[in-house]
Every structure is written in C-alpha cells, then in structure tokens.
C-alpha cells in the first residue's frame, strides 16, 4: 500500500512552535536586543574608565621600584669599584664604562641604542637622552664637588662637613652626570619624585616638592652638607 502524501514528513528545516513538546535544544532562543547590546557596551566602557587609571598607576609604581633596584645595583657596583681602586669613585665622564665589568664582564659600555640594562630606567623616555653611551644610560653620577665624592666616608667640602647618608651618589638623569647648575638634567619620569642612591648605598625616592631641582635644598643633596 502506497503511503499517502499526508503521512510523509515534510522536508526542509524544522520550525519552532511555541508550546510544542520538542526538546529544549530545538526550541527557539531569542538573541540580544539592540538596547541590551548598548547596555553591555556602556558597562564595559565604564569599567575601562575605572580600571585603566589604576592600571597605569600600578605600572608606573612598578617601574619606579625597578628603577630603585637598578640604582641599588649601581651603588653596590660603585662600592666594589672603590674597594678595587683605592677607595675612589670612577671618573665622572666614563663611569658606565668603568662599572660595566661588574655587570657584563666587559670594560666597554657599547650596546645597541636604548638597550634595557641596569643603566636604563624603565620609565625613561628615549628622546630625553643624549647620544652618550649610545643613549643607553638613564642615570647620572653626582659630579658636583667631585674631589670629596670619591670616598664613602665623611669629608669636608668648602669648609662644611658632608656625610654619605645625605649626599647623592647617582640619580635619575638624562646626561650621565649631574651638577648643581644643571637642574634641567633631572627628568620627570616618575611624576612627583626622582630616584637617587646616596653615598652610603641606600636608595630612595626624593619628592620633587621637597627638593625641587635647582633649589638650595636640592644642591645640599648634591653636596651632602650636614646643615639640613
């Protein structure tokens, strides 16, 4: 007996019928409306506005901590240098070359431009740096009153007593060396502070509003006088 056409299931895609006893996987699932999509986008935008500033602040703080770590290593290398060279600091104009052997087993600081080594501040802006050492040095040695800087002990400069714990040895800098007449060499890479390491090898962040570059207080940090 030939089956009637009414008993042959119709071909083509299945259609969903409201209230039918079909399985859940065959039921129609409505998509998101335009309003719902806009609400989701708005929520994502609000979260981005709230999160991105905090994320940037965290990154800047991490870079500042790493920068302090770099200065601490440089200070340790300088102290080792003084032990090897009759308790004196390396020459002002070539200090990265002289300290390089304590890091890289080489006596010449020659790397591709802007190489990220211990001499590079992670917050440094390459365009702020000069061509010295291929633009790879983002720190400066304290060249002020250098005759008294070469020893990790109390010295007398211009008739005033200086102490290692109050005298900068190295700091953030865009020229390799620092003088009390060159405050423009102090970069603003860390916002409201700049990182330094003192002659006694302790590193800290110095607030710009307390020791503004070029001020008498800042010059005292370079000379290391007891008077502050």
DSSP secondary structure string for all residues of 183-213: GGGS--TTSSEEEEEETTS-EEEEETTTS-T
Helices marked H in 20-133: 34-84, 95-99, 101-104
Q: Which one is predicted more confidently, 204 or 144?
A: 204
Mean pLDDT, to the nearest integer, of 103-131? 78
What band does 219 get if pLDDT is binned at 50, 70 and 90?
confident
Report pTM. Answer: 0.71
Q: Print burial letters for 137-147: b (CB count within 10 Å at least 16), e (below 16).
A: bbbbbbbbbbe
Helices (H) and strands (E) in the chain, counts: 5, 7
Q: How far apart are CA 145 and CA 52, in angstroms?
A: 44
Q: Which one is predicted more confidently, 31 or 153?
A: 31
Among 1, 173, 160, which residue's Cα sits nearest to residue 71? Answer: 173
First-last CA distance in the chain = 114
Please give the angle made by the CA atoms of 180, 181 and 187, to the nearest 5 degrees.
80
Beta bridge partners of 207: 193
Domains of the chain by residue range: 37-223
Q: How far apart are CA 158 and CA 48, in angstroms?
A: 56
What band does 201 get if pLDDT is binned at 50, 70 and 90?
confident
pLDDT tens for 9-24 read 555 555 545 555 445 5
pLDDT tens for 137-153 read 899 888 875 544 444 44
Q: Whose structure tokens read 């602040």?
A: 57
Report the relative pairing of strands 160-162 and 168-172 from DSSP bridges: unpaired
What band does 161 get if pLDDT is binned at 50, 70 and 90?
low
Report the relative pairing of strands 177-178 and 139-142 from DSSP bridges: parallel
Are the C-beta atoms of 148 and 157 separated by less than 8 Å? yes
């Amino acid at each position: 007996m030939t089956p009637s056409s009414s008993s042959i299931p119709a071909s083509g895609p299945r259609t969903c019928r409201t209230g039918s006893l079909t399985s859940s996987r065959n039921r129609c699932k409505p998509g998101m409306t335009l309003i719902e999509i806009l609400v989701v986008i708005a929520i994502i935008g609000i979260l981005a506005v709230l999160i991105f500033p905090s994320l940037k602040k965290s990154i800047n703080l991490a870079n500042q901590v790493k920068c302090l770590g770099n200065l601490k290593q440089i200070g340790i290398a300088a102290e080792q240098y003084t032990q090897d060279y009759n308790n004196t600091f390396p020459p002002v104009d070539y200090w990265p070359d002289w300290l390089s052997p304590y890091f890289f087993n080489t006596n010449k600081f020659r790397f591709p431009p802007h190489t990220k080594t211990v001499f590079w501040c992670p917050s440094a802006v390459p365009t702020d740096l000069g061509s010295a050492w291929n633009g790879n040095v983002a720190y400066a040695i304290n060249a002020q009153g250098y005759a008294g800087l070469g020893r990790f002990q109390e010295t007398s400069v211009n008739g005033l007593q200086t102490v290692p714990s109050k005298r900068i040895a190295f700091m953030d800098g865009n020229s390799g060396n620092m003088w009390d007449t060159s405050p423009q060499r102090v970069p603003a890479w860390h916002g409201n502070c700049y990182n330094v390491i003192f002659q006694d090898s302790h590193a800290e962040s110095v607030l710009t509003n307390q020791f503004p570059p070029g001020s008498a207080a800042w010059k005292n940090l370079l000379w290391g006088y007891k008077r502050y």
